[in-house]
């Protein structure tokens, strides 16, 4: 595996607080893996044999319903952690939405390493609590927000996760362009909306000058403050 010291998510991943000697040990039990868009990394309900850090790309977490439909339950971005340490089975499937690169660890090796290195266990706890907060916000979005508020919140979330430095202190005059790594149907699945409703809301935001749509999957945020207002806080 490539050196942890040169990893592009070195300062934001779960290993951020580890020193050089700890990183060297961690480096010995991991390996880099490239995933093509559509390639599966983990399967729902199977033995939890691996965990991973996302280095590049976007992946989806999904559950299968009894009638065969898929429900997307989460998205993971660079520096996010995937898998269930100390768990027996994987609670969701993980699939690459874009070409991606991950740092993969055998789950048993990672569990042992985490038990021996409190800094890593502490980071895992922090990440777990952060994901819990995101889940609670998502419950609010799905349960209480209108279609426009859902889509606006979704676009802000993606832009923030793809480029946190740009979005932390946004220039009101700056325009931010990014690609949504999935189809309108998948956006609807994530937000609990029909594809027709998603398309109408995209059109409305574009017509009102809040966003532009340079291509089918590209979004340009023209007025971030207005998009935040439409997200409903």
**pLDDT in the model for residue 121:** 83
pLDDT at res. 145: 85
d(CA 187, CA 210): 19
Give the model's pLDDT for residue 149.
92
pLDDT tens across 177-215, in order?
A: 888 888 898 888 888 889 999 999 999 999 999 999 998
The residue ranking higher by pLDDT, 149 or 166, is: 149
pLDDT at 23: 85
* pTM for the structure as a whole: 0.80
pLDDT in tens, 14-40: 888 888 888 888 888 999 999 999 999
Residue 172 DSSP class: T
Question: Domains in the chain and their CATH numbers?
Answer: 4-139 (2.60.120.10), 146-230 (1.10.10.10)
- Provide the pLDDT confidence category of residue 144 given band limits of 50, 70 and 90: confident
Mean pLDDT of the chain: 86
pLDDT (0 to 100) of residue 24:
84
Average pLDDT, integer, range 74-97: 89
Mean pLDDT along residues 90-116: 92
Q: How far is CA 204 from CA 32, 110, 115, 199, in A?
A: 42, 47, 51, 9
- Would you state the pLDDT for residue 205? 97
Q: Which long-range contacts (CB under 8 A, 24 or more apart) does 105-111 make?
A: 105/29, 105/30, 105/50, 105/51, 105/52, 106/29, 106/49, 106/50, 107/48, 107/49, 107/50, 107/51, 107/83, 109/29, 110/29, 110/51, 110/85, 111/85, 111/86
- For 8, the enclosing helix (H) or strand (E) is none
Smallest CA-to-CA distance from 134 within 52, 185, 73 is with 73
pLDDT at residue 214, rounded to an integer: 93
Helices (H), 39-117: 107-116
Alpha-carbon distance 75 to 95, whole Å? 10
CA 2 from chain centre, in angstroms, equals: 23
Q: What is the pLDDT of residues 151-171, one digit of tens each?
A: 999 999 888 887 765 555 556
Q: What is the band of 174 on the pLDDT scale with cuts at 50, 70, 90? A: low
pLDDT score, position 169: 55
* Band (173; pLDDT cuts 50, 70, 90): low
If you average pLDDT over residues 122-139, what whole number do you get? Answer: 80
């Amino acid at each position: 595996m490539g050196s942890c010291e040169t990893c592009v998510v070195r300062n934001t991943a779960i290993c951020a607080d580890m020193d050089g000697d700890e990183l060297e040990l961690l480096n010995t039990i991991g390996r880099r893996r490239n995933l093509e868009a559509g390639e599966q990394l983990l399967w729902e309900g199977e033995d939890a044999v691996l965990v991973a850090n996302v280095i590049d790309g976007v992946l989806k977490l999904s559950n299968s319903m009894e009638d065969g439909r898929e429900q997307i339950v989460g998205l993971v971005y660079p520096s996010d952690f995937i898998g269930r340490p100390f768990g027996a089975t994987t609670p969701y499937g993980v699939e690459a939405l874009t070409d991606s690169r991950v740092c993969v660890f055998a789950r048993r090796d990672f569990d042992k390493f985490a038990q021996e290195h409190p800094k890593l266990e502490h980071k895992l706890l922090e990440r777990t609590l952060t994901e819990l907060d995101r889940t609670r916000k998502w419950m609010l979005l799905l349960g209480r927000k209108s279609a426009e508020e859902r889509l606006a919140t979704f676009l802000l979330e993606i832009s923030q996760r793809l480029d946190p430095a740009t979005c932390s202190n946004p220039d009101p005059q700056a325009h931010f362009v990014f690609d949504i790594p999935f189809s309108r149907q998948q956006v609807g699945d994530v937000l609990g909306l029909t594809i027709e409703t998603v398309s109408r809301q995209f059109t409305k935001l574009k017509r009102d000058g809040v966003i532009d749509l340079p291509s089918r999957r590209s979004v340009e945020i023209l007025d971030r403050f207005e998009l935040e207002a439409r997200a409903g806080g």
